[in-house]
Structure 1
Amino acid sequence: MEKAAREPAVRPSKYDRLVTAARAVPPATTIVVHPCDPTSLGGAVEAAELGMIVPILVGPAQKIRAAAEAGGLDIAPYRIVDVPHSHAAAAKAVELIHQGAGELLMKGSLHTDELMKEVTASGTGLRTARRISHVFVMDVPTYPETLFVTDAAINIFPDLEAKRDIVQNAIDLYTQIGLGTPRVAILSAVETVTPKIPSTIEAAALCKMADRGQITGGVVDGPLAFDNAIDPEAVKIKGIKSEVAGRAQILVVPDLEAGNMLAKNLTFLAKADAAGIVLGARVPIVLTSRADSVRSRLASCAVAVLYANARRRAAALPEV
């Protein structure tokens, strides 16, 4: 008898814990912006069916229904807010957040810049006192930790003040979704401070800001080269004494170019999954790409839902 063909093993995911935790908290009402293709609409519907979100679909109603039909999706249970095009969908989504109609934003099939233009608009957007930044929550098969990479999508060349907020946003996310106290590596090309590489000076300044309480909630060290941040053997060889080196959980990159290349290298060469979320606005924003795996899409939702739930609980605490 011929042996039955073996199905390929499904790799265990560090995201499983996040999705399980998100399913255990109340679902977050989520404004889904222009979900006009089966992929983006399907991600929202799947998260809703798992009990993580209650979606409000904002976009041209006819296109949303056509996407549902093309993807074999049942959207009858969900509210649709009909607007004529993607720009109007982004503006309406921001308006709904101002009205208190949702706790999260989720990007659909519109371009990220189109959504973020409305989010960051002066006077009408969703800015807060904190700088808006992006975090990739990465499951790298060869690394034991869930790895945060920031900022690889929003801030192109952040200055020291912006980097302080970028670091704090990532620490707050890490702690509030239940992962504990993070070890934060400020990346550069080398692990020593030199005026020839400005990012090493900013890394040293960020560490001193953490010492002085201007950054809280994490253990911060830098500058660290990438190998010294994630490889214990490289740390041992170089004789670096650090609580962070060799086992970092948050990687803070010098600029968007470096971060984008790092995240994509991990995704395409190390076969990592990358979930994306924007922080620092009035609500968390789920950014997904058509290239994202189903696992990454659900992880993005899970992280945002856990963060929204932590904010919900903090808002309910009585003032002391």
Structure 2
Amino acid sequence: MIDLAGTPTRSKYDLLIEAAQSVIAPVAIVAHPCDESSLRGAVEAGSTGLIVPVLVGPEATIRAVGQEHGLDLAGIEIVDAPHSHAAAAQAVAMIRAGRGELLMKGSLHTDELMREVTARDTGLRTARRISHVFVMDVPGHADTLMITDAAVNIFPDLEAKRHIVQNAIDFWNAIMPEPPRVAILSAVETVTSSIPSTIDAAALCKMAERCQITGGLLDGPLALDNAIDPEAAKIKGIVSEVAGRAQILVVPDLEAGNMLAKNLTFLARADAAGIVLGARVPIILTSRADSVRSRLASCAAAALFVDALRSANKLREV
């Protein structure tokens, strides 16, 4: 568990990375790290003690990229695979065989990797719906924000949203000291039949009341302003433990989530780490636009989650 209350000299991401360095680094299977950013992210996460990377892809290409950009690959295992399709399949097979505790995307397309992850007979599916969470460090905002789902589920129905919310809550509770305040977002804060996302929000909150969603405090529908700004919530007359203080923002669909996350990243200069939940292991999905810092934070969040899963599995065995 970690308290991510940042200071002017130590950001939330600094504290996240520091906390992850205190746990046993998980083995991360990295699929097709064949460009500078993906290879550098894996190598630097390994050198800082966040993960133990195992690189899967065309070995000659990986070594050439490493040499070109001055990346030291000494001591890092490389599993040869001729191309990106084969690398994705091999990486998933290695996870199924127990060779790694994390899966990390390299320079291949997200769809290419997720196709192997979601394959019915050979993939990494569980009873949970797979979903994505952004962990946002927004300058000037006191709380760490998580945004879900902005990368996997395009137009989720109510049952999919229940899984999305539960995945995010479980992830938060694994790495944070207190249960999260969860805002189910829409365009307005009133239940309106003409806006389906407001009806989904109300249903999700009722599900939480009936223990179909557990571990967090839900409220919705809430608009973005009255979800994260106490004054906006006060002006609207919303009395809630979540309104104005939300930590997990559940968006209506992928389009809304993707635009929200990218607005925060490119206009508010927020850092955005990303992780996929609901599969057999956490999956680090990185973008070519991600900074090395964001890649390290993604690895740190995933490492802390893996450590929490280890502890939970030990408790089940007792």
- What's the TM-score bracket when you normalise by the shorter of the two chains? over 0.9
Residue in structure 1 matched with residue 3 of structure 2 by the alignment: none
Partner of 2:52, secondary structure, is strand
Residue in structure 2 matched with residue 120 of structure 1 by the alignment: 118
The within-5 A match list for 1:55-94 is 55-94=53-92
Partner of 2:269, secondary structure, is coil
Aligned-pair CA distance for 1:71: 1.5
Partner of 2:300, secondary structure, is helix
Q: Computing the radius of gyration over CA atoms, which structure comes out larger, 1 or 2?
A: 1
Report Cα offsets for 1:232-262 as digits up to 9, x if no partner: 1111111101000001000000000111111
Residue in structure 2 matched with residue 7 of structure 1 by the alignment: none
The within-5 A match list for 1:45-56 is 45-56=43-54
Counterpart of 1:182 (choices 180, 183, 190) is 180
Aligned-pair CA distance for 1:69: 0.5
Alignment partners' CA distance in 1, 2:289 and 2:255: 20
Q: TM-score, normalised by structure 2?
A: 0.96
Equivalent residue pairs, number: 311
The within-5 A match list for 1:27-176 is 27-176=25-174
Residue in structure 1 matched with residue 262 of structure 2 by the alignment: 264
Alignment partners' CA distance in 1, 2:240 and 2:124: 38
Q: TM-score, normalised by structure 1?
A: 0.95
Partner of 2:126, secondary structure, is coil
Partner of 2:68, secondary structure, is helix
Instruction: Supply the RMSD in Å over aligned alpha carbons.
Output: 1.1
Report Cα offsets for 1:158-198 as digits up to 9, x if no partner: 00000000000000111101342100000001111011111
Report Cα offsets for 1:3-48 as digits up to 9, x if no partner: xxxxxxx974211111011000001000011011121111111111
Report Cα offsets for 1:44-77 as digits up to 9, x if no partner: 1111111111111000000000111011011120
Counterpart of 1:243 (choices 237, 241, 244) is 241
Counterpart of 1:296 (choices 290, 294, 297) is 294
| Paired amino acid for 2:184 | I
Structure 2 residue runs without a partner (length 5+)? 1-7
Structure 1 residue runs without a partner (length 5+)? 1-9
Counterpart of 1:311 (choices 276, 290, 309) is 309
Aligned-pair CA distance for 1:125: 0.6
Alignment partners' CA distance in 2, 1:319 and 1:44: 32
Is the 8 Å Cα contact of residues 142 and 270 (structure 1) preserved in structure 2? no
